[in-house]
Homo-oligomer: A and B are copies of this chain.
Amino acid sequence: MTRVTLLAGGVGGAKMAEGLAALEDVELTIIGNVADDDEFHGLWISPDIDTMLYTLSGRINRDQGWGVADEGRRALDTLEELGAPVWMFLGDRDFGLHIYRSQRRHAGDRPSVITADIAERFGIKARLLLPTDDKVQTRVRTAAGWLSFQEYFVRERCAPEVLDLAYTGLADAQLTAEARAAITEAEILVIAPSNPLVSIAPILETPGLRAAIAEARAPVLGVSPLIAGQVVKGPADRMMASLGHRADALGVADLYQGLVQHFLIDNQDAALASEISALGMTPHLADIFMRDAEDKARLARHLVDIAREIIREHAA
């Protein structure tokens, strides 16, 4: 068994996690993103963490990539009748989870422990950790002012140009002991094909996390979330561009310079390989688009095989 620790955001991260979880020779630990958490109707919602929970437990709505299959909207209908804002879709099954989490948070339980308990109840074998138990929230500056991440992402459907990003609470957030150990004890570290700015950055910049990676003996591999300059899902490409980054695999590699040693990019991006090499990381070409379970497992297999080869070379 190889201990793999994955830093991952929402949909893309969950796909990568699913692929790794399918490998029988991998013991998977995921450090998820809590910076898109927010409160709705007095309940605490963790969209990225829930996408991970729903994906790994097979509850996910495969058509949309988030939310639960066979979902209802009766609770939301009532809230709408009562005049509550309902632009954030929250299904009935989903509400059950939010109610459970909120009650336990309110009782003072650590968010990490609550997440681990939910994962266990959902029959998930991988360990799902939080980078911090503190409240960290991505804020998005647009021409209309600062928005919460969900306001930007869901209410405004990522339409406004992103002028700046901030991560409230991040500078003072305390890295969980579990996340630190999962990094220092990992045999392979992987940065998932998630949005580098709003999914990976708030994990990476948790104080102490980069230091833990620097301390770790594991090779660090990344997978590009962009293929031929386009995102599979979400606003990463436009967000990269508006914030002055190249909106392609090279732009992502640039953000991970000094951290990621091996970077998987799509075959379509072969032309970027030499520039990625120049950043001090080894590019690896592959078909990184994950359509189905087979794709996910194949990419995960490929990733783990590359990492094992690196480990062998190091040992030699």
Q: Which residues of A contact B (CB under 8 A)?
A: 41-43, 70-72, 74-79, 81-84, 91-97, 99-100, 102-103, 106-107, 117-118, 121-122
Query: DSSP class of A's interface residues: helix, strand, loop or mixed?
Result: helix
What residue in chain B is nearest A97 (Cβ atoms)? B78
The CA-CA distance from A102 to B42 in the complex, in Å, is 8
The CA-CA distance from A271 to B91 in the complex, in Å, is 56
* Among B74, B78, B96, contact of A78 (Cβ-Cβ < 8 Å): B96
Q: Which residues of chain B are near A74, meaning CB under 8 Å? A: 70-72, 74, 91-93, 95-96
Q: Which residues of chain B are near A94, meaning CB under 8 Å? A: 78
Central interface residue in A70, A72, A91, A93, by most chain B CB within 10 Å: A93
What residue in chain B is nearest A100 (Cβ atoms)? B82
Central interface residue in A41, A81, A83, A102, by most chain B CB within 10 Å: A81
> Closest CB-CB distance, A68 to chain B, in whole Å?
8
The CA-CA distance from A97 to B117 in the complex, in Å, is 27
Q: Which residues of chain B are near A71, meaning CB under 8 Å? A: 74
